[in-house]
Structure 1
Amino acid sequence: MDNTFTLDTAKMPRHIAIIMDGNGRWAKQKGLLRAFGHESGVKSVRETVEACAKLKIGFLTLYAFSTENWNRPKLEVDALMSILMNSLKKELPTMQKNNIKLNTIGNANMLPDRARKQLFEVIAQTKENTGMVLTLALSYGSREELVAAVKQICEQVNTNTLNIADINEEVINNHLYTHNMPDADLVIRTSGEQRISNFLLWQAAYAELYFTDILWPDFREKDLHQAIFSYQKRERRFGKTSEQLK
């Protein structure tokens, strides 16, 4: 950890969500194919997951593949799916050692059969773990998630199993992919871009946002600590005044 600051263990975010951006630019800067950037990003995933587990973060969500990413060149998409399968198989022992439970959000039906099978095998093998919940957002788009939730709620109204007057935030929450998770407290985005990119739009309504110029393959434990330190220095008012919080 950077010696210039100390993290307050009593003020840890319960749920950290990360937009892992910059793999392609990292590779381009080195004159490599984009796939090499994605492969190098795996090391950052491993170090970040283990660091969050050590800090006893309850939930870590990684934006691994968006619904829009399917529009990328087929060669790159195929490489990403291959990296996903290999990483899941390789990292299973680490997840078991750290008592990590794997979860996924998104439209898993869009994933290639082999990738989907590998994903759900690891989810099944870690389902009894009681430590941190690691969620991979795969083929995920927040707008698609919200549309799916609205359709489910409308179906319940049409079948008279739900009254329109009873629709509230809790009902909507219960129809999202993340219904069994708390809202995001801290959203980190690497690579210098400062946007949410269709990620957890509902769940990040009151999240603290942290942007860093570091490209994802270069993101390390000390950078995670810096993001959390920034989070801990902020006053989270949730619409109230500072005086009310005091």
Structure 2
Amino acid sequence: MTKYPNDEFDRVPEFTNRKGVHRQAITGTAVRRSPLGWIVGFGILALVVGLFSFFVLPQLTGNPVATTAEASSSAPAAPSASATDDAGASSTDAASNAASEEPGASESAAAASSKAAAESAAKASKAAASSSEAAASSSAAASEPDLSAKVGVYNGSRRSGLAAAGKSTLSGAGFTNVSAANWTKKVNTSIVYYASDADKATAQKAASALGINAMYQTTQIPGKIAVVLGSDF
């Protein structure tokens, strides 16, 4: 028999009205159930019922769940070509009717467009005429000799007084700004040099007055026009 240590139950007074005092034997640890277990159980049960209703029950009742292919095949068909043509014809008729109902606006727009095109053509023609006149005037100015231009006459031979004789000839032809000097080296053939196209007419006038046939354009000359008289002058 198990021997317990003395406690309050061993201290019993001599006279007492208390009856049936005893120790409760410990038979085991009390297990307290958590409500979480019930929630998990109900969730599993609901899942099983749902799967059964979705997969098994339709097979038993003869109404299986439609597949994706069947659902796509049951979609509404696109409108036929005849319906599209009818719609296009209707829109074309409506546009034609709208155009026929407003002839005045179309005619006004066409008239305005024609007027604008005519004005643009007139402006372009005027600009082209102005450009042509400017080109013609510049060409005419270039073709006219400038008798006031500076012309240098150079003696390229060993004959004394040749440059002075050339200067006298050009002065008699109307040139007003002529100078005479010696060339740096001996030249056999007389030539007239000019710097640019604008000086060509003046150079031609000087060459014609002196009876010189050779002309050459270059910037390597003193001044704009240089007349070099050779031994053949």
- Per the normalisation by structure 2, the TM-score is 0.21
Greater share of strand: 1
Higher relative CO (CA 8 A, sep ≥ 6), structure 1 or 2? 1
Over alpha carbons, which structure has the higher Rg? 2
